Amino acid sequence: MNDTLALRTAFAPRNLRQLAAPLLIVLILAMMVLPLPAFVLDVLFTFNIALAVMVMLVAIYTLKPLEFSVFPTVLLVTTLLRLSLNVASTRVVLLEGHTGPDAAGKVIEAFGHFLVGGNYAVGLVVFTILVVINFVVITKGAGRIAEVSARFTLDAMPGKQMAIDADLNAGLIGEDEARKRRANISQEADFFGSMDGASKFVRGDAIAGILILFINIIGGLIVGVAQHDMELTRAAQNYTLLTIGDGLVAQIPALIISTAAGLVVSRVTTDEDIGQQFVGQIFGKPQVLVITGAILGIMGLIPGMPNLVFLGLAAAVGSLGYWSARRTREGAAAAPAAQAAAAAPEQADASWADVTPVDVLGLEVGYRLIPLVDKDQDGELLKRIRGLRRKFAQEVGFLSAPVHIRDNLELRPNAYRITLKGAEVGRGETVPGQFLAINPGRVAGTLPGTETRDPAFGLPALWVEGGLREQAHALGYTVVDASTVVATHLNHVLLLHAAELLGRQETQQLLDHIAKDAPKLVEDLVPKNLALATLQRVLQNLLEEGVNIRDMRTIVEALAEHAGRLQDAAALTAQVRIALGRSIVQQLFPGTGEMQVMSLDPQLERLLAQAAQAGGPDAGGFEPGLADTLLRDTTAAAQRQEDLGLPAVLLVPDALRWMLSRFLRRAVPQLKVLSHSEVPDSRTIKVTAIIGGAQ
């Protein structure tokens, strides 16, 4: 019973697939030792040719090199198969060659007689030419491409990893996608490294083919003359033709496999296979075809030339160019007609449906950027925007309004602009099909390209062609595609204007979401003790200062505690910040280490306290000299903090925090103002700079 179960398990379809590779290798090695009849050699030589054709077709229809990642192993197996067949056929040729030209099977006989006309001198020349083409041209070129590709792939790996981390941090991709991309980068480096080594198999196979040819000829002459008493000319005729047929039947599949290797490593990765690329790029321009036809026609009119051939081919190429140009014109004319047909129905009377509200978030693109946002063309930017909104909700704490995308013919073809409630808040340009190489400040060289600046952060950058992408990675540039440029800019705008994106409707939706888990908590606060508008203002105050509102439970509990005696949004914001103090400090100073902050000079602190009692900067309580000194000293101190790699944080008394935060926000946007009450008792404070003191 157990033996039967074991046999069934061993011969299950899945296990048979696992056994296929070792069985194939064992059979190939056995062919070198065991004698094979002529008919079996015919079958195996035919199988070798069929396998080579299959490999070449797979290489042609492969879109990316990693889709055929087993190719280096296939090179080894096919090389081993050809060498095994050479050994098996050599045995048969030397043992039975004296009996006639079909001693080693019909396939070798056909290659020795039909392909070279039974002339062994012609066969030697043809065989030599095939070996030279395979060894000197195709194999050497493919090996060089694989070597350079492996080197650039390895050099570009750090830059690619940084780009993946940047996309992950920006919310453009998830953890699974990042893990998948990292695996693809590693597999790509392994593939080109393996191809660099595997090309040596084909090179060695070509050398072995030459040696086997001469060994067979010399050995055949010795065996035929010495052992079978054949005449020298007859022995040379028999054994040389058999050897030439054997060499040709092995070298032709080797040439096909080498061609497949060259196709795999030399192609540029796109969404089209080699056939589509070839037809689209060679025959896709009508003017090229027409000019070529005209040149052939002129050459065909020269006396002494094969006029019929040249004129016939000129007519064919010219006709193809004319047909292609006509098709292009018809396609261009059909687009306006389709637009006119769509606008043809008679317009109805105006109604309230014609009054459209202003989009909270809008993205307008020039006509060349339409494919990036077109659902029918699988626009990559649409997926990235969905990922951005999800990432924003996870990091900030509420779901922003959807981004309404439309084309705008008033913009430049490659331009886009981002609008917030109808007003422009961001603008930039991107070039589809090219890559933006951003200089993070530590690149190791220069690249040819169009100089520009990253629209999100203003860093110096270059627009480069796709072929320079790997080189840019290797030099230390951060390389992103056109859709990533727009998505990163949009993400920056979302974070910068988070407070304005939190409207009354979003606030109510946020409350409804919290009420699912804590209905009583929300019911006791809104609208019983606090108006929805006041809650919205408190949340906006937090967002304006870079504090996320993910911990809504703590926010609502703090508001519920103080709403009975306070209704002012600023005062309530101060109490909420105290409740969120631990997470605010944690965001600025991760871990439990020392907090290195800036502080105010006591004399300046007293002056500011007096100004606060007089109404603060909003009431004109700041004297011009005091305001100028405060801005100048704070800007300089914040810059020194950043130069030291520290966050620019100013620690002030509770009564001054709100006033100073509002006053300094525009002049020093990177500055964060904390009050003493917001710092947990467990944290140690170290003052690194005093504003307003002696410098």
Instruction: Quick: pLDDT tens for 484-521.
Output: 899 999 999 999 999 999 988 899 989 888 888 888 88
227: left (phi over 0), alpha (psi -120 to 50) or beta: alpha
User: Are 625 and 558 contained in the same domain?
Assistant: no
Using DSSP, state whether 186 is helix, strand or coil. helix
Residues listed for the chain: 695
* Contact partners, residue 401, CB within 8 Å, separation at least 6: 359, 360, 361, 501, 503, 506
Q: Tokens for 353?
A: 């449906």
Residue 188 lies in a domain: no
Query: Which of 519, 551, 579 is the C-terminal boundary of a domain?
Result: 579
651 Cβ partners below 8 Å, 6+ apart?
A: 597, 598, 599, 674, 675, 676, 679, 685, 687
20-67: pLDDT as tens digits: 667 777 777 777 777 777 777 778 878 888 888 888 888 777 777 777
Residue 445: its pLDDT value, please? 84
Q: Tokens 């039947």 correspond to what residue? A: 249
Query: Does residue 410 fall inside a structural domain?
Result: yes
Type and span of the H or E element at 582: helix 581-588
Tokens 């039967």, residue located: 4
First to last CA, the chain: 92
In terms of Cα–Cα distance, which of 536, 606, 617, 598 is closest to 573?
536
Q: Are residues 419 and 468 in the same domain?
A: yes
Give residue 499's pLDDT: 92
Q: What is the pLDDT of residue 416?
A: 94
CA 120, CA 246: separation in Å to the nearest integer? Answer: 12
Helix axis angle for 552-562 and 532-544, nearest 10°, is: 120
Cα–Cα nearest to 247, from 204, 212, 207: 212
Q: Looking at 551, 579, 607, which one is the last position of a domain?
A: 579
pLDDT given at position 344 = 47
What is the distance between the alpha carbons of residues 671 and 641, in angstroms, rounded to a whole number? Answer: 10
CB 258 within 8 A of CB 142: yes
The two three-digit tokens of residue 113, written as one number: 């007689």
Structural domain contains residue 656: yes
Give the C-alpha separation, 181 to 12, whole Å: 34
Cα(449)–Cα(461) distance, integer angstroms: 9
Are 509 and 471 part of one and the same domain?
A: no
Residue found under tokens 């077709």: 57
546 and 609, same domain (yes or no)? no
Residue 212 lies in a domain: no
State residue 693 phi and psi, 5-degree precision. Answer: -90, -175
Pick the last residue of a domain from 498, 527, 545.
Answer: 498
Same domain, 400 and 376: yes
**pLDDT-flagged residues of the chain (< 50):** 1-2, 5-7, 9-11, 343-344, 619-620, 695
Q: Do 489 and 515 fall into the same domain? A: no
The whole-angstrom separation of Cα 379 and Cα 371 is 6
In the numeric block, the tokens 């502080």 are attached to 599
Distances (CA, A) of 545 to 371, 574, 669: 37, 12, 9
Residue type, 286: P
CB 109 within 8 A of CB 249: no
Task: State whether 314 and 437 are in the same domain.
Answer: no
Strands (DSSP E) contained in 357-495 are 361-365, 403-407, 415-420, 423-429, 435-438, 450-453, 460-464, 478-481
**Same domain (yes/no): 370, 439:** yes
Residue 58 inside a domain? The answer is: no
Peptide bond into 527 cis (omega under 30): yes
675: which residues sit within 8 A by CB, 6+ positions away?
Answer: 574, 577, 578, 651, 652, 653, 654, 656, 657
Distance separating alpha carbons of residues 389 and 491, to the nearest angstrom: 8
Identify the three-state secondary structure at position 118: coil
Pairing of strands 403-407, 361-365: parallel
Q: What pLDDT sits at residue 463?
A: 92
Token digits of residue 243: 């050897």
Q: Are 623 and 693 part of one and the same domain?
A: yes
In a domain, 555, yes or no: yes
Do 493 and 541 lie in one domain? The reply is no
- Residue in 446, 478, 483 with CA at minimum distance from that of residue 459: 478
CB 213 within 8 A of CB 248: no
Parent domain of 522? 502-579
Q: Are residues 483 and 375 in the same domain?
A: yes
Whole-number pLDDT of residue 693 = 63
- What letter represents residue 29's amino acid? L
Residue pair 332/356 in contact (Cβ under 8 Å)? The answer is no
Neighbours of 319 (CB within 10 A): 13
Compute the distance between CA of residue 392 and CA of residue 476 in angstroms, rounded to an integer: 29
Question: Does the residue 619 lie in any domain?
Answer: yes
Contacts of 636 (CB under 8 A, 6+ apart): 695
Angle ∠(127,128,134) on CA atoms, nearest 5 = 90
In a shared domain, residues 525 and 420: no
- For 195, the token pair is 């191809």
Q: How many separate domains does the chain show?
A: 4
The Cα 224–Cα 94 span in angstroms is: 8
- Helices and strands (DSSP H and E) totals, the chain: 26, 12
Q: Is residue 336 part of a domain?
A: no
